[in-house]
Structure 1
Amino acid sequence: MTTFRLGAYAVAIENDRVLLVRCASAFDEGHWSLPGGAVEHGEDPFDAVVREVAEETGCAAVVEHLLGVDSRFIPAAERHMPEKGSHQNIGVFYQVRITGEPRPEPNGATSDPVWTLLTDVAGLRRAALVDVGLALAAGRPPTGHVAAVPVGGLVIH
């Protein structure tokens, strides 16, 4: 069995800071991620990223550019729930401009939206998609694709 997820993620960078949210789950003690999440059935990823930013941070997001797409396949043996089989995640990354002051998501899966210095990101326990989004924003590859991000240490699936 293989599961699949299409997600849309916001890369908001200003004044050498990136907007991150804390994610907690039953599988780990918490990690940092970009605002974003699953695209709902029938929803355009462009609309999904705006909705997810509003839900997770209380801010409005203005999409400025499509940065790229990341496809990540996680074998069952590397998943937190190996009994569910392998998993493929397709992430669509957008550069966004944020308006408003971040606030925690009420009763949501994320908390603590924080503007974080880019120089501090490497020391955070974070989702691999943070590194993917920052690489896309920094490199602006013409293909919209960056090399796979190695997972391990502070970087998780």
Structure 2
Amino acid sequence: MTEATTGRRVQRLGAYAVLLRAGEAGEEILLTRISARGYPPGWWALPGGGVDHGESPYDAVVREVAEETGLVARDARLVDVHSVHTVAPGRGAFEDYHGVHLLFGCEVDRAARPRVVETDGTTDLAAWVPVVSAADGRQLLPVVHHALGTVDAYR
């Protein structure tokens, strides 16, 4: 395929937190919902996002968790790397997209209520969700499915 047939090429490095806690209905994972400003809107993701140019991935995951959940991530440890590659309609244009996701296990105050701090961002909700039913009725990004399939590594 050529760029003319695939559209623009995008490669993005992101840092994401897999945050777990014991809840009333069993183990819970903290998820964030993509706002109308993000892509794809209404889908659920892990707290996290793009690593800025020159930024440490460790600093990026702490920053993103704070912006998207209001929580302070501590003791971030790199656990896994996930990659997704799609050639499809994207953010307003056809694109050849490659996302590389660094997945960190982190600690947060599990009693604190998550809330989106960033205004006009790509996240509109943060919520603790039971691990066993996270996919029930929710559209999850592939990185969330991956994290749910490897959840033991983050405990």
TM-score by length of 1: 0.78
1:11 to 1, 11, 18: 18
- Provide the C-alpha distance between the structure 1 equivalents of 2:57 and 2:146, rounded to a whole number of angstroms: 17
Aligned length: 138
> What is residue 122 of structure 1 aligned with on the other side?
135
Unaligned 5+ runs, structure 2: 1-7
Alignment of 1:1-157 (within 5 A): 1-15=8-22, 16-25=27-36, 28-75=40-87, 78-81=88-91, 83-99=93-109, 100-107=112-119, 108-123=121-136, 124-138=138-152
Give the structure with higher Rg (CA): 2
After superposition, the CA RMSD in angstroms is 2.0
Report if the CA contact (8 A) 2:58-2:76 is conserved.
no
Deviations, residues 69-119 of structure 1 (Å, cap 9, x unaligned): 1121112xx232584430110000001111233112341221221111112
The change in CA–CA distance for 1:9 and 1:29 in structure 2 (over 3 A counts) is: closer
Greater Cα offset, 52-61 or 64-73: 64-73
The structure, 1 or 2, with the larger RCO (C-alpha pairs under 8 Å, 6+ apart) is 2
1:21 deviates by: 0.9
Structure 2 counterpart SS, 1:89: strand
Deviations 1:113-144 (A, max 9, x none): 1111112212111111111122233357xxxx
Instruction: Tell me which moved more, 97-106 or 84-93.
Output: 97-106
Residues 10/28 of structure 1: CA separation in 2 closer, same or farther (3 Å cut): closer
Percent identity over the alignment?
Answer: 33
